Amino acid sequence: MEKIVIIGEEPLQGTIAISGSKNASLPLMAASILTNETIILDNTPNLADIHTMGSVLDSLGVNFDKSNLVEKNQIKLTYQESDKALAEYDLVRKMRASILVLGPLLARKREATVSMPGGCAIGARPVNIHVDALAKLGGEFNLEQGYIKCEAKAGLKGAKIKLPMISVGATENIIMAATLAKGETEVSNIAIEPEIIDLIDCLKAMGAQIELQPNRKILIQGADELHGATHNVIPDRIEVGTYIIAGAITEGELELKNINFDHIENLLSVFENLGINMHKGDNNLKINMSDISKSIELDTREFPGFPTDLQAQMMVLLSLSNSSSVIRENIFENRFMHVPELNRMGANIETNGSKAIINSCGGFSGAQVMATDLRASVSLVLASLIAKGETTINRVYHLDRGYEKLENKLASCGANIKRIQ
């Protein structure tokens, strides 16, 4: 099994191009089921999760053309009329986002059988929100032997739906399904993450009639059919935040390119309040030597709040402060699994339920550590960059799910990092 070895205390100096968003790409790929015509996605990151979703879609009758993925970050998806409506366990277990085929399949095929999803071990992430919302459009559901089985023999019909809690995945599933439902669908209490807006933009380019309204509400007029489109995937805002932290903690000079500042405005405010020196360009950001001396209390929230996907990385940054900070995790339970590994490297972090107290640690030391999920694994990389001595990170397949060319990007800026067997 592959490992990453890092020798720390090297300042990062150079330029990093931000990749396309994985969390935007996956629902965009699922949307290809909604049309017989080709969907072309530019700026798609070459990641394990992209290939997994491609395999799921291929099993459902979608031609997944990845011939230009490595060189041009482009994929083409063409749904071919098929009687396939089964997303099997062996594929879906690898990634929770596979549940995103449920809504498009039900809308297009009037039936779907999807295995209960797998992925990172960071909480239950119940699928009942997806199922209950789709049931209001006319879907009938059963859970049999670990599979969600659903059908809508008469097709889906528009309805008024209020999600019981804000859910990114459920919002994406219901929007995609509603584009082919008869009549109007109104959904309230939706998530409004940039990745969802990106999905809406692509669906509109495919011919969907969608109106995003204030106060987390959306109106969708169902269409008889959608057509193909070419769409440019938005930059990965989580990758931006991760590399801002990397630049700040290594006290180098780092420039990040391909940024959409509308997606990270509140995030930048948090970093500025902590003392990170940043200089904005048109679509680039420069991070200079920073004095991280302040403490904060931080709550993870749905967008536009602080993203849970940056919580682990923030713990590394806050460990360098002169005083204690607090993070409250409000999105997922069981998302402090990285804390014992960071503490092995010298962090002084205490957890109590959904609350973590990050005390000043005075620095990190190299150690053997193990990644537990995608964002936890990159927090260990960050700590390793400033640790004294050598760190070996095990189970780095998690990193390959969400960070494109991580070692290459960091090494090009001076990091002493390599991957070994």
| Catalytic residue positions, numbered | 120
Beta bridge partners of 369: 393
Angle of helix 168-178 relative to helix 128-135, nearest 10 degrees, comes to: 30
Closest CA to 346 of 360, 330, 334, 333: 360
Query: What's the CA gap between 402 and 293, in Å, rounded?
Result: 30
CB 140 within 8 A of CB 161: no
HEC secondary structure over the chain: CCEEEEECCCCCEEEEECCECHHHHHHHHHHHHHCCCCEEEECCCCCHHHHHHHHHHHHCCEEEECCCHHHHCCEEEEECCCCCCEECHHHHCCCHHHHHHHHHHHHHHCEEEEECCCCCCCCCCCCHHHHHHHHCCCCEEEEECCEEEEECCCCCECCEEECCCCCHHHHHHHHHHHCCCECEEEEECCCCCHHHHHHHHHHHHCCCEEEEECCCEEEEECCCCCCCEEEECCECHHHHHHHHHHHHHHCCEEEEECCCHHHCHHHHHHHHHHCCCEEECCCEEEECCCCCCCCCEEEECCCCCECHHHHHHHHHHHCCCCCCEEEECCCCCCCCCCHHHHHHCCCEEEEECCEEEEECCCCCECCEEECCCHHHHHHHHHHHHHCECEEEEECCHHHHCCCCCHHHHHHCCCCEEEEEC
Edge-to-edge strands of the sheet including 3-7? 368-370, 390-394, 3-7, 416-420
